[in-house]
């Protein structure tokens, strides 16, 4: 039994206004070819299939075309997809009955424990694995709210709710495993899926990964989860990594660089083969379909790097940060001229010299359109001279409200 673990596709994500459908399409083509070449039996997608809860037509087309292609392969018997915090549970669930005919199992929202356990069978009907397909667990799924709760109380209830949910689902899988073993089928592996932020998880600037729960609960310790899990396929963090040194608990990471902070990472998917219930794990590097290059420095530094990239016939998308001491009023024009004759594009220019001047200036004429919600909130705290000791509780309450708004499922009736 060979499984492939991937996550955080974020289909539909753009980069400073630039659509990236060609990259997504190339990745999905590569992934389907890899599934065929490696003779993968089960594909696991651990959340954030789409970048928003209302994906566009092109993003949906890529998703369904990929599922159709993979489900028709003789080797791939099952596809299991769980929702992430970016996904709409109801949107993913809507075609669930139809997709199940193709052995594509989609779990968009928390369900009864027995409904989150998927039995993986081979062509002869023998059970080869049990998948605990747990989606992103929203605050309301695992915690009841009581008036006047402290942050510590909220955190402890959330930890308990998340721990109990996984314990309940895995206990169903353990019971089924025992039944199979008693029938002579042998000891089948238990594979869990999840979309969450574990303790010590690595992130990078600009990856869009946000805290999932109030306070410190975003960092769940590996000991929170049942020891019966033979492999844990995680999503949410875009940097490929294991959890607390446990090689059987892994984030596959995002398959393409979703921001310039990820541009130097080697992206990957994870292949898992079981020797009994022992997972043999190896990674496969995902090709880079669009080079992203960040250039930081003085004007001379920037122009020198551009010249070098031109000599290499690069087709990179550039993020340029000017950090020189001189004010250059025609920076954009100068850089556009330097790029003439190349296939490179500038996606963003950050002029630190100008930014510092703006920040230090009186913000006359500033409007709410120029500010994010966090900036407005903190300015209100300053305006009303709220003491530092009171800001912790207020910040936690503010984060909870914003998160509940972000998690609202606009597709749910």
Model pTM? 0.85
Helices 388-406 & 151-182, crossing angle to 10 degrees?
A: 40
**Phi–psi pair at 141, nearest 5 degrees:** -75, -25
Do residues 284 and 39 touch, judged by C-beta distance below 8 A? no
Render pLDDT for 264-275 as a digit per residue (tens, 0 to 9): 999 999 999 998
Indicate the range of 134-143, 343-352, 358-367 predicted with least confidence. Answer: 358-367
Model confidence at 300: pLDDT above 60: yes
Burial 90-122 (b: 16+ CB within 10 A, else e): bbbbeeeeebeeebbbbbbbbeebeebbbebee
The SS3 call for residue 156 is helix
320 vs 349: CA distance, rounded Å: 5
Do residues 9 and 47 touch, judged by C-beta distance below 8 A? no
Render pLDDT for 141-173 as a digit per residue (tens, 0 to 9): 888 777 777 877 888 888 889 999 999 999 999
Tell me which residue of 278, 84, 109, 79 sits closest to 194, measured CA to CA. Answer: 84
Please give the span between the terminal C-alpha atoms of the chain, in angstroms, as a whole number: 39
185 vs 176: CA distance, rounded Å: 11
> What are the structural domains of the chain?
2-285 (3.60.21.10), 292-358 (3.30.160.720), 368-406 (no CATH)
pLDDT band with cut points at 50, 70 and 90 for residue 360: very low
List alpha helices for 74-134, DSSP H.
89-93, 96-101
Indicate the range of 171-180, 213-222, 294-303 predicted with least confidence. Answer: 213-222
Mean pLDDT of 402-412: 66
Question: Residue 194 carries which DSSP code?
Answer: E
**Phi–psi pair at 296, nearest 5 degrees:** -130, 135
Render pLDDT for 230-265 as a digit per residue (tens, 0 to 9): 999 999 999 999 998 899 999 999 999 999 999 999
Render pLDDT for 26-84 as a digit per residue (tens, 0 to 9): 999 999 999 999 999 999 999 999 999 999 999 999 999 999 999 999 999 899 999 99
pLDDT band with cut points at 50, 70 and 90 for residue 413: very low
pLDDT band with cut points at 50, 70 and 90 for residue 362: very low
pLDDT band with cut points at 50, 70 and 90 for residue 342: very high
Task: Tell me what the pLDDT averaged over the chain comes to.
Answer: 88
């Amino acid at each position: 039994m060979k499984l492939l673990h991937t996550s955080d596709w974020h289909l539909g994500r753009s980069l400073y206004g630039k659509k990236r459908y060609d990259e997504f399409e190339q990745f999905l083509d590569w992934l389907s070819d890899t599934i065929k070449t490696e003779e993968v039996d089960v594909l696991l997608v651990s959340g954030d299939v789409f970048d928003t809860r209302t994906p566009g037509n092109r993003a949906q087309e890529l998703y369904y075309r990929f599922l159709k292609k993979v489900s028709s392969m003789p080797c791939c018997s099952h596809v299991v997809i769980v929702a992430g915090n970016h996904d709409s549970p109801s949107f993913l669930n809507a075609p669930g009955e139809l997709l199940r005919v193709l052995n594509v199992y989609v779990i968009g929202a928390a369900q009864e424990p027995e409904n989150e356990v998927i039995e993986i069978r081979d062509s002869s009907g023998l059970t080869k694995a049990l998948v605990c397909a747990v989606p992103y667990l929203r605050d309301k799924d695992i915690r009841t709210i009581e008036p006047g709760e402290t942050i510590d109380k909220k955190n402890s209830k959330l930890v308990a709710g998340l721990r109990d949910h996984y314990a309940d689902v895995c206990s169903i899988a353990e019971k089924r495993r025992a039944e199979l073993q008693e029938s002579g089928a042998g000891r089948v592996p238990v594979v869990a899926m999840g979309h969450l932020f574990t303790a010590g998880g690595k992130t990078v600037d600009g990856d869009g990964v946000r805290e999932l729960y109030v306070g410190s609960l975003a960092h769940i310790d590996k000991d929170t989860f049942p020891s019966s899990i033979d492999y844990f396929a995680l999503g949410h963090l875009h940097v490929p990594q294991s959890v607390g040194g446990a090689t059987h608990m892994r984030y596959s990471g995002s398959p393409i660089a979703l921001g310039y902070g990820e541009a130097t990472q080697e992206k990957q998917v994870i292949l898992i083969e079981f020797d009994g219930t022992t997972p043999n794990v190896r990674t496969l590097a995902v090709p880079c379909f669009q080079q992203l290059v960040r250039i930081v420095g003085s004007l001379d530094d920037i122009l020198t790097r551009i010249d070098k990239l031109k000599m290499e016939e690069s087709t990179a998308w550039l993020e340029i940060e000017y950090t020189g001491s001189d004010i250059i009023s025609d920076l954009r024009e100068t850089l556009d001229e330097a790029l003439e004759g190349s296939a490179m594009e500038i996606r963003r220019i950050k002029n630190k010299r100008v930014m510092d001047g703006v920040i230090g200036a009186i913000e006359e004429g500033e409007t709410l359109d120029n500010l994010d919600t966090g900036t407005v909130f903190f300015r209100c705290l300053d305006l009303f001279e709220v003491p530092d000791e009171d800001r912790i509780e207020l910040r936690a309450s503010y984060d909870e409200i914003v998160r509940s708004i972000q998690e609202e499922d606009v597709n749910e009736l």
